[in-house]
C-alpha cells in the first residue's frame, strides 16, 4: 500500500506524534495474586503510572473488555489459574489484540516463556522482580504501543484518503473499480443479480459558466448528498469523476435499478439547490442502467453498457433514464 507522501501534519496528527515522543506514564493492569509482590510492583510503578491490580484472569479479562490499558503485566504463578491462557485470550480478542503483555516468570520457567512468546507476549521479567528493570520494560512497551498505534492510525487515514473523493466524500473511482470487481465475482459465483447505474448532471458546464466554479462544486456536493440519501445500505455510491456518479446495487434486477434510477433522477430535478449565499439552482440529470448478464460478463462490459445507456438518455433529450 502506498502511504501518502509529502503531506504536512495536521493539528491532531501533530498532537498524536507529540504523544508518541512523550515520556508520560500509562495505565498498567497488574494481574497478580501474590500480595507482597503486587504491592512492591505497584509502589515502583505508581509515581509515573496508574496501576490497577486484578487477582484473577477472569476479572482481568472483564476489566480489559471495558477499559483501555497501555500494558498488562501477567503473573504466571497465579493460584489455581493459568496466566498464559489469559495471554492467549487477550491476543484473540479484537479489543485487546494490540495491548502489550509482559509476563512474570519463576526461575526455571523456560518452557512457559517460549509458549508465551509464541502466542505473542511482548516481554518477560524473572522473579524476584527488580524494580528498575520493571520500570524500563514497562516504559519500552508503552512507547512501542504509542508508536504502533500512531502508525496504524496513519495507515488507516491514508487508506481512507486514497479511496475517498475529496470534494463529495463519496468513494472514488479507484475504490469503485476494486469493489465492483469483487461484487461481480460474488454475483457470478452465487448466481445473484447485480445492477449498476451511472448518473451525469445535464449541461453542468453551464452551471460553472453561469455561477462560477465554487457554486459548481456546491452543486456537486449537494447532488452527492441526495444520491447518498436515496441509496440503500448495501448499495455503493461513488464519484467517477467530474459530474458523473456511479451506484452499484447488489441483489438488484434491472427493474429495481430502474425504480432507484427514477427516484434519484426525480429527487435531483424536483428541488432546487440553495447555496449558502441564497442562490437557487436547478439541475437535471440523465441516468444509464445496466445489469449483470451471465457468467462471462465483466465489470468493464457492465460499465460500458451503463455508459452507452447514459449516452442514449442524453441523446433522447436528457433528464431521463435509459437501459
Ligand atoms: P451533458 O449534459 O452532455 O453532460 O453536458 P455537461 O455540460 O454536463 O458535460 P461536459 O462534459 O461538457 O461538461 C462537464 C463539466 O463539468 C465541465 C467541467 O468543467 C465540469 N467539472 C468537472 N469536474 C468538476 C468539479 O470538480 N467542479 C466543478 N465545479 N466543475 C467540474
Ligand atoms: Mg459530458
Ligand atoms: Mg454532464
Ligand atoms: Mg460528464
% of residues, the chain, pLDDT over 90: 88
Ligand 2 centroid – CA 268 distance (Å): 18
* pLDDT at position 1: 40
pLDDT one-digit tens code per residue, 167-202 = 999 999 999 999 999 999 999 999 999 999 999 999
Nearest-angstrom CA–CA distance, 204 and 284:
9
Q: Is 209 in the pocket of ligand 1 (CB under 6 A)?
A: no
Give the CA dihedral 66, 101, 32, 61, nearest 10 degrees.
Answer: 30
Atom 17, ligand 1: residue with shortest CA distance: 205
SS3 of residue 127 by DSSP:
coil
User: Any catalytic annotation for residue 225?
Assistant: no
Residue ranges in the chain modelled with pLDDT below 50: 1-5
The reported pTM is 0.73
Nearest-angstrom CA–CA distance, 259 and 231:
12
Spell out the residues 6+ positions from residue 274 whose beta carbon is closer than 8 angstroms to its own.
280, 281
* pLDDT at position 236: 95
Q: Is 284 in the pocket of ligand 1 (CB under 6 A)?
A: no
Backbone angles phi, psi at 254, to 5 degrees: -60, -35
Q: Is 203 in the pocket of ligand 1 (CB under 6 A)?
A: yes
ipTM of this complex: 0.97
Nearest-angstrom CA–CA distance, 57 and 168:
48
201 Cα nearest atom in ligand 1: 8
Amino acid at each position: 500500500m502506498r502511504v501518502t507522501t509529502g503531506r504536512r501534519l495536521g493539528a491532531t496528527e501533530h498532537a498524536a506524534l507529540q504523544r508518541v515522543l512523550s515520556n508520560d506514564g500509562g495505565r498498567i493492569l497488574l494481574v497478580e495474586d501474590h500480595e507482597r509482590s503486587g504491592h512492591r510492583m505497584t509502589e515502583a510503578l505508581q509515581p509515573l503510572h496508574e496501576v490497577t491490580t486484578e487477582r484473577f484472569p477472569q476479572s482481568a479479562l472483564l476489566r480489559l473488555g471495558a477499559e483501555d490499558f497501555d500494558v498488562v503485566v501477567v503473573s504466571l504463578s497465579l493460584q489455581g489459574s493459568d496466566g498464559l491462557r489469559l495471554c492467549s485470550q487477550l491476543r484473540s480478542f479484537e479489543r485487546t489484540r494490540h495491548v502489550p503483555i509482559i509476563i512474570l516468570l519463576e526461575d526455571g520457567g523456560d518452557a512457559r516463556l517460549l509458549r508465551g512468546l509464541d502466542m505473542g507476549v511482548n516481554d518477560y521479567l524473572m522473579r524476584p522482580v527488580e524494580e528498575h528493570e520493571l520500570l524500563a520494560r514497562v516504559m519500552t512497551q508503552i512507547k512501542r504501543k504509542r508508536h504502533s498505534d500512531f502508525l496504524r492510525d496513519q495507515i488507516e487515514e491514508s487508506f481512507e484518503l486514497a479511496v475517498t473523493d475529496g470534494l463529495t466524500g463519496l468513494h472514488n473511482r479507484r475504490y469503485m473499480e476494486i469493489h465492483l470487481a469483487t461484487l461481480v465475482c460474488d454475483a457470478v459465483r452465487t448466481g445473484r443479480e447485480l445492477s449498476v447505474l451511472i448518473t451525469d448532471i445535464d449541461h453542468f458546464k453551464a452551471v460553472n459558466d453561469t455561477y462560477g466554479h465554487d457554486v459548481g462544486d456546491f452543486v456537486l456536493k449537494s447532488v452527492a448528498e441526495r444520491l447518498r440519501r436515496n441509496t440503500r445500505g448495501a448499495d455503493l455510491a461513488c464519484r467517477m469523476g467530474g459530474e458523473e456518479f456511479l451506484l452499484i446495487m447488489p441483489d438488484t434486477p434491472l427493474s429495481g435499478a430502474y425504480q432507484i434510477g427514477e427516484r434519484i433522477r426525480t429527487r435531483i430535478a424536483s428541488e432546487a439547490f440553495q447555496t449558502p449565499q441564497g442562490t437557487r439552482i436547478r439541475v437535471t440529470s440523465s441516468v444509464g442502467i445496466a445489469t449483470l448478464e451471465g457468467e462471462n460478463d465483466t465489470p468493464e462490459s457492465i460499465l460500458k453498457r451503463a455508459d452507452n445507456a447514459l449516452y442514449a438518455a442524453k441523446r433522447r433529450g436528457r433528464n431521463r433514464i435509459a437501459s
